[in-house]
């Protein structure tokens, strides 16, 4: 039987399992089940499931690929340097747990952007929601595109299945199992998906170590000899200087987790603040070990490739008009022709092109699909929830019955599914190989205003009552940030990296301070 058919049959069986879970978890569900799981989620289930949402296909494919990269565009992660950003994430999760979660629970929020409405005005509430919807839609579909593209290239193209059809089928799968239960279903399915992702990670590490006849210590020593374990980048002009990545990672976590309705929707579905904090801190600690394991796997993939005849090399690539070096492996065939495989494609190429045995290929594909679904299911549910709760004020509408509200919510769910499909097709046209970096850069522009809005609301008591002022500031700040980034990049050796979000948030904060009325406002 065609190996591609075998692997796809496992994907189908996996999806049937998700539908079975969705059937049992969505019985007797209502809008509150969809939005916040009736605040009955178990903290340990949420913590474990959030690992899958946070990691996604980007971590599963791109993070191992960063180990050997020289430069991609302006970014120069290499070795284990990405782990500096992970340490920044870890610090950020503590700030979310002890600053933002208490605020959300105290106000008993369904949508976290309700805080902006109570702190400032209705305009701020809606602006916060719109920035989230744009940010999460772009980020989730970028992650989704990465995995869909891998499935397409290594499995489905050989069967004559077009990319657009692959995207439609996968989105329909996500739609089917989130249609009724929403967060109530996702808390369970994300736990299952995280389990398979980690099992796949461990199985691949064990297989490669066994194949190379190495233990963990010996493998690490070989990686160190090849300079694949380099941790700290001390070049202050580099986008990945260690202080930039730690600080940038911290603020990215605050914005992309603490100010993100998708991530917080799951946290505030936990029954009380104490358990929600336990969830966040357990999740943060676990990510330290899981990300390190993915980097270690990345190093092992390079050792395995070289052991199997691949030649490690650097190729010149033009990105945004600039020449860059990108690491690649040349795989010579029997005729002497060389196929160059870039870092992001190395894991799927080895797994699905006959270098790994079929059982490991099955484990890889299940892990990959497990990384795919959390990228889409939570995002699709969260943007639907935010649109319904924040923009349509569905929970406050006393003129509609519960049945009418549910019907409207389902229609919006369908509309966002179409939007996700169009965005995936847009990423296919762009065809950017460095998705992990693209997501961070987009986050700097779209989450920055959210960071500034929440910071101004929490750390000052100034009021902003006049309509239109907040909108002007939150539009100007990203434009100024882009101008600063362009100016610095083209007039100096210094490169702005993930600290872009800090600059954007600071400009938003300053702009809000300038337009505020210097009268104190207490939360209602």
What is the CA 198 to chain-centroid distance, rounded? 17
Instruction: Provide the 10 A C-beta neighbour count for residue 355.
Output: 18
| Residue 34, pLDDT score | 46
Question: pLDDT tens digits, residue range 150-201?
Answer: 888 878 887 888 999 989 988 888 777 665 544 556 666 667 777 788 888 8
pLDDT at 335 over 80: no
The two structure tokens encoding residue 49: 């499931």
29/182 Cα distance (integer angstroms): 9
C-alpha pair distances (Å), 76 with each of 67, 70, 102, 252, 304 = 10, 6, 38, 19, 23
What is the CA 426 to chain-centroid distance, rounded? 18
- How many CA atoms, within 13 angstroms, populate the side-chain half-sphere of residue 396? 8
Contact 259, 446 (CB under 8 A): no
**Residue written as tokens 């070795």?**
79
| Residue 6, pLDDT score | 77
Q: Per-domain residue ranges for the chain?
A: 3-309+343-452
Question: pLDDT tens digits, residue range 25-62?
Answer: 665 554 444 444 445 556 556 666 666 566 666 677 77
Contact 136, 383 (CB under 8 A): yes
318, with CB counted inside 10 A (0-12, 13-18, 19+), is exposed
Contact 448, 500 (CB under 8 A): yes
More confident call, 74 vs 386: 386
Question: pLDDT tens digits, residue range 91-148?
Answer: 999 999 999 999 998 888 878 898 999 999 899 999 999 998 988 888 888 878 877 8
Q: Quick one: what percent of the chain has pLDDT higher than 70?
A: 76
Q: CATH number of the domain at 3-309+343-452, please?
A: 1.20.1730.10
The two structure tokens encoding residue 46: 């949420």
pTM: 0.80
pLDDT at 73 over 70: no
pLDDT at 361 over 70: yes
| Residue 376, pLDDT score | 72
290/284 Cα distance (integer angstroms): 10
Contact 247, 83 (CB under 8 A): no
**Residue written as tokens 């940030």?**
481
């Amino acid at each position: 039987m065609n190996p591609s058919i075998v692997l796809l049959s496992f994907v189908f069986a996996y999806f049937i399992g998700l539908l079975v879970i969705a059937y049992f978890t969505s019985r007797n569900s209502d809008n509150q089940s969809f939005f916040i799981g009736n605040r009955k989620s178990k903290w340990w289930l949420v913590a474990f499931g959030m690992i899958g949402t946070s990691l996604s296909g980007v971590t599963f494919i791109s993070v191992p690929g960063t180990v050997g990269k020289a430069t991609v565009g302006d970014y120069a992660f290499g070795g284990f340097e990405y782990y500096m950003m992970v340490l920044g994430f870890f610090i950020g999760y503590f700030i979310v747990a002890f600053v933002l979660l208490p605020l959300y629970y105290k106000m008993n929020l369904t949508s976290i952007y309700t805080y902006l409405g109570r702190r400032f005005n209705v305009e701020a509430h809606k602006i916060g929601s719109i920035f989230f919807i744009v940010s999460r839609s772009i980020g989730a579909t970028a992650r989704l595109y990465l995995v869909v593209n891998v499935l397409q290239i290594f499995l489905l193209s050989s069967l004559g299945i077009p990319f657009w059809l692959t995207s439609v089928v996968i989105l329909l799968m996500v739609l089917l199992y989130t249609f009724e239960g929403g967060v109530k279903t996702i808390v369970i399915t994300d736990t299952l998906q995280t389990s398979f992702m980690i099992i796949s990670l461990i199985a691949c590490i064990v297989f490669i170590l066994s194949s190379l006849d190495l233990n963990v210590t010996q493998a690490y020593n070989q990686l160190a000899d090849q300079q694949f374990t380099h941790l700290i980048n001390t070049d202050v002009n580099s986008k990945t200087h260690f202080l930039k990545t730690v600080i940038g990672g911290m603020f990215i976590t605050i914005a992309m987790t603490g100010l993100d309705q998708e991530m917080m929707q799951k946290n505030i579905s936990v029954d009380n603040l104490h358990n929600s904090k336990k969830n966040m801190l357990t999740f943060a600690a676990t990510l330290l070990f899981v990300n390190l394991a993915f980097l270690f796997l990345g190093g092992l993939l390079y050792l395995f490739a070289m052991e199997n005849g691949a030649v490690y090399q650097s190729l010149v690539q033009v990105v945004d008009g600039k020449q860059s070096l990108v690491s690649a492996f040349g795989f010579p065939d029997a005729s002497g022709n060389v196929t160059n495989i870039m870092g992001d494609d190395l894991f799927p190429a080895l797994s699905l092109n006959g270098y790994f045995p079929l059982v490991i290929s099955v484990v890889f594909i299940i892990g990959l699909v497990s990384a795919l679904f959390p990228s889409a299911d939570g995002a699709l549910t969260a943007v639907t929830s935010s649109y319904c709760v924040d923009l349509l004020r569905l929970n406050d509408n006393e003129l509609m019955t519960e049945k009418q509200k549910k019907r409207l919510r389902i229609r919006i769910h369908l509309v966002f599914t179409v939007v996700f499909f169009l965005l995936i097709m847009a990423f296919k046209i762009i065809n950017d190989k460095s998705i992990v970096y693209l997501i961070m850069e987009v986050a700097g522009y779209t989450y920055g205003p959210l960071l500034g809005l929440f910071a101004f609301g929490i750390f000052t008591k100034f009021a902003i009552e006049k309509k239109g002022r907040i909108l002007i500031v939150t539009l100007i700040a990203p434009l100024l940030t882009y101008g600063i980034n362009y100016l610095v990049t083209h007039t100096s050796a210094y490169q702005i990296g993930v600290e872009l979000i800090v600059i954007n948030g600071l400009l938003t904060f300053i702009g809000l301070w300038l337009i505020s009325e210097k009268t104190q406002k207490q939360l209602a």
